Amino acid sequence: MPVGINQPSNQIRLTNVSLVRIKRGKKRYEIACYKNKVLEYRSGIETDLDNVLQIHNVFLNVSKGAVAPHADLQKSFPKMSLDEIILEILQKGELQVGEKERNAQLDRVHNEVVGIVSGKLVDPKTKRVYTTGMIEKALDQLSSQGAQAAQHEKAHPSNASGTSTPTSGEERGKPTWTGVVTTRSAKSQALDAMKALIAHQPIPVARARMRLRITCPTSIAKQAVKVAPKSGDESADGDEKAKGTVKDRILSYVEQTESQEASGDEWEVIGFVEPGDFKLLSDFVGTQTKGRARIEVLNTAVIYEGD
């Protein structure tokens, strides 16, 4: 068969290939890698380059077999050898994530999210945590519910726009859960999941409370709340708040007080605080008392500890 004639029989097709591309100086360069390997290489698990690269060369177009001309490469990657260019592309280029890698990543994020959630949610009655399995099932239930609701809306678009709009609006107001994604951090997804679980209550759950000890000099505790110096533009709002004393404000954050006592010039309260309020509380204490009051975290998540 004459060489050079492009016929189906003498084409060499690359299989099992995953491309990593980079754009440099208006040119697009590609390298041919194995599937499911590039991310591993980037995270440093795979160290053997031969296990990542299919062909030790840089292409303009892998599927057509167009190797990048040396001149172009020199222009785009000045003073770099071919090996260095390949490494550069491997590290910085955009890539297709392989199916298995994606699945592994998703699994990992999912497990992490479930782990975080199960550590922070408790049964409000017994203050016991749920197992990861239970949380997983509850989240599954939520996501399938969400999918159903979406389908329902699609099926009856007219209905949704019609009389039932307010109810569906309410529904939409509730945070929903549709499963994990790999693009966001596990922690923020876990927060979403928690919100969704608390809103829908497929199982009775509540955030585990933080247990804090707040100590404050009595003199300050009795003071009226000062308007925050910075928030001059919010003065109207500030004035309203200024009616209570510092003590009252602190107590308003505390959901349930365990003990509260004033001895000498120190006022102390131990109580449970919803974790979402903690930041507000500590900001408030920090600004109002100029650091003379202290918040001590006794426990970040109060859960039942059997012994």
Partner 1 sequence: MPVVPPEKLVKLQQQGEGIRNICILAHVDHGKTSLTDALIATNGIISPKLAGKIRYLDSRPDEQLRGITMESSAISLYFSLLRRNAPEAKPEQKEYLINLIDSPGHIDFSSEVSTASRLCDGAVVLVDAVEGVCSQTVTVLRQTWVEKLRPLLVINKMDRLITELKLSPSEAYTHLSKLLEQVNAVMGSFALGERMEDDLRWRERIDEKVTAAAAAKDQDAGDDAKAASKGRKTSIAEDEEGLDTTSTPADYEEKEDEDIYFEPERNNVIFSSAIDGWAFTPRQFAGLYEKKLGIKRHVLEKVLWGDFYLDPKTKRILGPKHLKGRHLKPMFVQLVLEQIWAVYEATLGGPNQKGDRVLLEKITKGLNLSIPAHIMRSKDPKALLSAVFSAWLPLSTALLVSVVEQLPNPPSAQEARIPALLEASPGAEHIDSKIKDAMTHSNASISEPVVAYVSKMVSIPESELPINKRRGGMLSADEARELGRKKRAEIAKAQALANGDADVASVTDALSSAAIGDEEEIPGGKIEEEPEQDDDPEHLIGFARLFSGTLTVGDEVYVLPPKYTPARPHALPQPRKVTITALYLLMGRSLESLNTVPAGNIVGIAGLEGAILKNGTICSQLEGAPNLSSTTAISTNVPIVRVALEPAFPGDLDKMIRGLRLLVQADPAVLYEQLESGEHVICTAGELHLERCLKDLRERFAKCDIQAGEAIVPYREGIVRTEEMNAPRDPALGRGRVEGVTTSKQVTIKLRVIPLPAPVTEFLVKHTGAVKRLYSERKAQDEERVTPSGGNGTADDGLEDIIEQDIEADDATGEGGHNLTMAEFKHRLSEAFAEDKADKDVWNGVVEKIAAFGPRRVGPNVLIDLTEDQLCGKFLREEHEATADQAEPTDKHTSTFADKVAYAFQLGTYQGPLCGEPVQGVAVFLEDICINVPEDEAAQNVGRLTGEIIRTTRDSIRQGFLDWSPRILLAMYSCEIQASAEVLGRVYGVISRRGGRIVSESLLEPSTNFTILALLPVAESFGFSDEIRQRTSGFAAPQLVFEGFEMLDEDPYWVPTTEEELEDLGEKADRENVAKRYVDKVRLRKGLMIDRKVVESAEKQKTLKR
The yes or no reply on residue 79 touching partner 1 (CB under 8 A) is: no
In the list 40, 153, 192, 277, the residue contacting partner 1 (rule: CB under 8 A) is: 40
The yes or no reply on residue 145 touching partner 1 (CB under 8 A) is: no
Instruction: Identify the residue whose tokens are 């497929």.
Output: 202
Chain Cα centroid distance, residue 234: 32
> What's the CA gap between 187 and 126, in Å, rounded?
25
Instruction: Identify the residue whose tokens are 């172009």.
Output: 72
Chain Cα centroid distance, residue 92: 23
Cβ distance to partner 1 smaller for residue 19 or 52: 52
> What's the CA gap between 191 and 139, in Å, rounded?
13
Residue type, 11: Q
Cβ distance to partner 1 smaller for residue 164 or 231: 231
| CB 110 to partner 1: min, Å | 7
Cβ distance to partner 1 smaller for residue 161 or 219: 219
- DSSP string of 126-178? T-PBPPHHHHHHHHHHHHHHHHHHHHHHHH-HHHHHTTTHHHHHHHHHS----
The yes or no reply on residue 176 touching partner 1 (CB under 8 A) is: no
| Residue 83 backbone dihedrals phi, psi, to 5 degrees | -60, -45
| CB 286 to partner 1: min, Å | 4
| CB 195 to partner 1: min, Å | 17
The yes or no reply on residue 132 touching partner 1 (CB under 8 A) is: yes
The yes or no reply on residue 68 touching partner 1 (CB under 8 A) is: no
The yes or no reply on residue 265 touching partner 1 (CB under 8 A) is: no
Chain Cα centroid distance, residue 264: 46
Cβ distance to partner 1 smaller for residue 132 or 168: 132
Cβ distance to partner 1 smaller for residue 15 or 183: 15
| CB 227 to partner 1: min, Å | 17
> What's the CA gap between 294 and 270, in Å, rounded?
12
The yes or no reply on residue 229 touching partner 1 (CB under 8 A) is: no
The yes or no reply on residue 76 touching partner 1 (CB under 8 A) is: no
CB 179 within 8 A of CB 102: no
The yes or no reply on residue 296 touching partner 1 (CB under 8 A) is: yes
CB-based contacts of 72, cutoff 8 Å, min separation 6: 27, 60
Q: Do you know the residue count of the chain?
A: 307
| CB 8 to partner 1: min, Å | 18
The yes or no reply on residue 85 touching partner 1 (CB under 8 A) is: no
In the list 9, 11, 183, 263, the residue contacting partner 1 (rule: CB under 8 A) is: 263
Cβ distance to partner 1 smaller for residue 137 or 241: 137
Cβ distance to partner 1 smaller for residue 27 or 207: 207
Residue type, 31: I
> What's the CA gap between 172 and 300, in Å, rounded?
31
> What's the CA gap between 180 and 113, in Å, rounded?
8
In the list 129, 191, 212, 214, the residue contacting partner 1 (rule: CB under 8 A) is: 129
Q: Fill in the DSSP letter of residue 3.
A: T
Sites of contact with partner 1 (CB under 8 A): 15-16, 34-37, 40, 43-46, 51-52, 98, 100-101, 104, 107-115, 118, 128-134, 137-138, 141, 186, 202-203, 259, 261, 263, 266, 268, 279, 282-283, 286, 290-292, 294, 296-297, 300, 303-307
